[in-house]
Amino acid sequence: MIYIHIPFCKQKCSYCNFHFSTSLNFKDEMLNAMKAEIKLRKDELQNKSLKSLYFGGGTPSILSVDEINSLIDEVLRYFSFEKDIEITLEANPDDLDKAFLKQLSGTPVNRLSIGTQSFFEEDLKLMNRAHTASEAEGSIKRAQDFGFENLSIDLIYGSPTSNLEIWKENLNKTIALEVPHISSYALTVEPKTALENWISKGKVKSPREEEQNREFYYLSDFLKDNGFEHYEVSNFAKPGFYSRHNSAYWKYQEYLGVGPSAHSYNGFDVRSWNVANNQQYIKKLNAKLLAKEEEILSLEDQFNEMIMIGLRTIWGVDLKSLKDKFNDRFLEHFQNEIRQKMNEGILIIEDNNLKIPEKHWFMADGIASDLFMV
């Protein structure tokens, strides 16, 4: 599978620390550089038949449909698409007008991931989103009108401008709109963001973990009651609508990341990442050089990643795979660490898979880190 990072946005959200630019001055040069990278790295994936192509960012919907199509065509020069390939475009609600959606419906893109975040104006203003509450709802309806049934929306909970009652209304609206996939995240205060600055100056209250905890478990119970499956800590889907792309990440499959700051993984022991600088990225690719660094994952790194990723999912950690891959030193450490947690009920074994019971998923990362090899 391939991930393409589009490093442009109209404006910067207050909570975001992803790599992007609000200037489109070098957009054409960037797209040419991405095409050059696809060509240079065409042999890195063992499987040349793609089951997923994902446009993330940034804001991929800031591109024209012709520009999106040109990137798809470039991928098709070196790879083939499986018959039921999932091609996802991340999009902001304010970009999804009728003209854009009409053109997009004529392309191979068959899944939209819409950055809704909230249906409430006060939340959106705090987050410095470019869209309004009415655009959030309207974009979903328009996408459905143009035949996009495989929709995902992002929702953020635990904002200081929100509370449990507002959160319930956000979820009721989502159900009414018949969206089949939801990715939902607690508002986090990342370093060097506007949100961190506002909180440090007392302009905005800091998110409260206990409130986020309450809203997370309401989210999980409410969506399950409405036919969703909670298949990863932050992801919920109606049957048949799991994100194929993200599921592949969580199952340690190989992927190629194209564009500045994009990451790649060979499915075994090598991770790489591109430079998070647009001009450096373009300069390197213009010279037909890759703009990436890589690391060989130690056995400890591989072990820790399997634990961290697996315990965030409905599938858990396959104990047979763990036993086949790691030596007795790892397994002895692992058995000692999980024994106490199983006694406490925060780890269980089902069908030879180690899992965290869903009622403890909000603390999944902390539980997993206790099992790490250091």
DSSP string spanning 70-132?
HHHHHHHHH-EEEEEEEEEEEE-GGG--HHHHHHHTTSS--EEEEEEE-S-HHHHHHHT-SS-
pTM for the predicted model, two decimal places? 0.93
CB 254 within 8 A of CB 266: yes
Query: 181 CB contacts (<8 Å, ≥6 apart)?
Result: 150, 151, 152, 153, 235, 236, 237, 238, 241, 242, 243
By the 10 Å C-beta count (0-12 exposed, 13-18 middle, 19+ buried), 107 is classed as: middle
Identify the pLDDT of residue 3. Answer: 98
As a whole number of Å, the end-to-end CA separation of the chain is 31
SS3 314: coil
Q: Strand locations in 223-343, DSSP E?
A: 229-232, 235-237, 256-258, 263-265, 270-274, 292-296, 317-318
List per-block mean pLDDT (blocks of 10 residues) for the chain, which spans 374 residues: 93 76 86 98 94 94 97 97 97 96 97 96 88 93 97 95 94 97 92 87 88 94 96 96 93 94 93 95 96 94 92 93 84 83 93 92 90 86
Main-chain dihedrals φ then ψ at residue 207, nearest 5 degrees: -60, 145
SS3 354: strand
Residue (of 157, 158, 159, 155) closest to 182 by Cα position = 155
Residue (of 81, 83, 87, 91) closest to 107 by Cα position = 87
Identify the pLDDT of residue 13. Answer: 82
Identify the pLDDT of residue 58. Answer: 87
Main-chain dihedrals φ then ψ at residue 33, nearest 5 degrees: -65, -40
Residue (of 168, 143, 190, 181) closest to 17 by Cα position = 190
By the 10 Å C-beta count (0-12 exposed, 13-18 middle, 19+ buried), 205 is classed as: exposed
SS3 226: coil
Tokens of 142: 């328009």
Identify the pLDDT of residue 113. Answer: 98
Identify the pLDDT of residue 229. Answer: 96
Tokens of 135: 């655009």
Residue (of 251, 303, 293, 286) closest to 271 by Cα position = 293
